[in-house]
A and B are shown apart, each in its own frame.
Chain A
Amino acid sequence: MYRDLREFLTKLEEEGQLVHIHDEILPEPDIRSISRAAGDIPNGPAVMMDNIKGYKGMRVVMNVHGSWANHALMLGMDKNAIPKAQFFELLDKWKKYPGEVRFVDKAPCQEVVVTENINLFEMLPIFRINEYDGGCFFSKASIVSQDPDDPDNPDKENVGTYRLQVQGKDIIGMQALAFHDISKQLAKAEAENKPLPVAIALGVDPVLTFMASTPIFYDQSEYKFAAALNGIPQELTKAMTSNLNIPANAEYVIEGEIIPRQRYAEGPFGEFPGSYSGVRRQVRIKVKTITHRKDPIFENLYIGRPWTEIDYLLALNTCVPLYQQLKEQMPEVQAVNAIYQHGLTAIIATANRFGGYAKSVAFRLASTPHGISYCKNIILVDADVDPFNLTEVMWAISTRVRADKDVIVIPNTPGMPLDPSSDPPGMGNKLIIDATSPTPPDSVLREIRMVDKIKGSEAYEKVIADLQKAIGR
């Protein structure tokens, strides 16, 4: 599908999902306000800005993944595809792992090489995303690093999205939490007092960005996943200052090293739960080289009070691994909707193999690697309820739940530190709401008969939609 960001932008433009702002704007607050607006419009477009005061001649693109329409186009689907259809499409593509990687010479990302007088504030049109952020952040970077004990193992080469704060002309602060893959690699390097080489790729193909924010296993390759989802080989090249393999068609690649055994003030940053993180001491990257394409495009995203672009990058890619892990031993599971704040709330559609089974499904979710910390509110609905359709979910809760037996709270479990209700940060509770219909030997309180879905109504949906279109709606 898309070799690079530019091919995807061309597709978005063809589909009416990319607009350009040529009027002169200020880095702050205008880029923030424009990006917020693009994300708030139903099926809002990506926005390219090319007339930023003080940064004349540079371009910023925002909201590239910021709507279900753009997300569908990333998956090669019709832009009107509903989230549930996108979930199953992603699941199909997921099964094609591993895809192929291909090394290229004369990579576009190295058309221009800068090794001296590096000044990030002047070389990229950066801006403060939210007004009380500690500085200008890269919120959509793909950060490449290797396992110091196994540097030639391509499957352990990590590509992850971690927030990056530009703190000096050639200094970048990074937040990596203890459970992030890069932290395992950093711990090994720091134990030997060695710097960890990193490459920060900005403006890569949309599927690689998507995979960089997906929780996959440590020895699974984001590059091979991106290739599988994209249906074409992932093109890589060697970094200029390290052994790292980097996306050949990135707009910018910032190469550097994490300074070992030092921590510096970082943050705050308006995070995905919609609240600011605190100021903490985090690692710093010392930049050695910046390479970029000719006339590069700086891609970033707005993150703040949900729903924002980040939510699309933490949505179906959170659902699919959870679904697969459940489905492995619980084939009754039909679909998992964990699109809310990286799965802090998750809705599972499942059949009840026997009485109480749905609650076991919830326990299973709460014990998956991601679910342990993240999935705290778990809602179970019947197999014929679409968990992505909140009207159906609320119907299930309204008509199935008897709180005395269907609502359970398990106290003092792991929590997600960035969740403002996690107190102390990292501790939490599990809430289970079982909105499935009771199955024997559970007592079935009253016999009821469901009104069946109307066979044949789907065919009329298109007829009516076409009629509506014909009268100009």
Chain B
Amino acid sequence: MTGEKTVKISPVTRLEGHGDITIKLGKDGKVKDAQFNITSTRFFEKFLEGRFAEEAPRFAPRICGICPEPHHLASVKAVEDAWGITPPAAAVKVRRLLINAKQLSSHALHFFALAAPDFLVGPFAEPAKRNLVTIVKAMPDVGKMALQMMQFGQELAAAIGGTAIHPVTAIPGGMLNPFSEENRDKFLKQIADIRQWTADTLTLAKKVFDDYWDTITKLGVVQTYYIGTHNNGAHEIYDGSIRVMDPEGSVVADIKPKDYRKCFAEYVPEHSYATHVYYKPVGYPDGVWRAGTLARTNVVDKMATPLAQEAFEEMRNRLGHPIHATFAYHWARIVELVQAMEELEILLKDPQIVSKDIKLSVVEPKKGDGVGCVEAPRGTLIHHYWTDEQGIITKANMIVATNNNVGGIEKTLMEVAKQVFEQRAHQKLKLPKPMIG
């Protein structure tokens, strides 16, 4: 090494959002700094001010077109909390169906389109080939299965939300549109296929994890705090309590979403428009936590459904607890995919899912503030609104999934940069022959 050097990746690809990576290397070849630069933001917190609060669930999905359903639901829950409203039980079931439909399609998309190219085509394949298009061409059965799983989730989300991007039917007090019997029957008919495809995906994923065992257990293993939602210890994505787990695996906080400010704090870095959310009592950067699939499966005691529980136990048996291996995010994603499929089946078979009693007749705005929290595919999502007597938003605060992760991503990036640039770890890893040559 002769001089100082900066490695820049612009933009980071197969990522949803806008980011660059900047790695600074010193004269000695040591990694001096590793930055994940989120390069834009849109100021939703500000321009929600002055709007009708009941319309916020129409604005909020536009924060993220890949996971608009969680934003739609976190938003409507925040307004209901502020106005002191409890929606009918059937509406909650329809909403659970909606968020699980998204969970299924998003996890399938993430695994097959964003992650799998690295594993199936290979991390050192030429960039032009390392993508979903290649998978579709070279492994048509897998490609087709992936597309059909995504399609099922997106079409189900559209049947409930009006459109999958951006859903429109959740309103303070319930849902504007009941879930029809025709739709119920239509999707229930497909569930056997989904069950099969989910099982096939799990099998494929486990093969990938075996093949890349060296990579998973050695590259980017980083100790952080973890955050996720649970319901009496079981994995939960629509409504529950928030757990924080320390790097040793002890639950250090278990709070109601309304109290999020006791645990959540945002650090504004010099080099990113996305703030780093961390565990407040510990401070920054020691309190940096991660959210999303691995974090959720770390903080819960069990999954909510039997097949997911099986997959969950296998993952824990092999990787221990808590799991710090960043690549295990993909494994946890598949565990959650299985649960989403099972939840969908349970909900579709519930007679109440087609109930017409899905909206309160009388909903009165009032002055107050409310917190809505759900688990988005990529992590814990919080909307917090203040409204006036007319039910108009006077202030908004939001903690989105990405912000719960960027601190952890940066920590991982630092670790991987050191492994790659200082130890040449990528040359020493045992890699399989890619499935797609």
Question: Bound pair: A and B?
Answer: no
Binding site for B on A (CB under 8 A): none
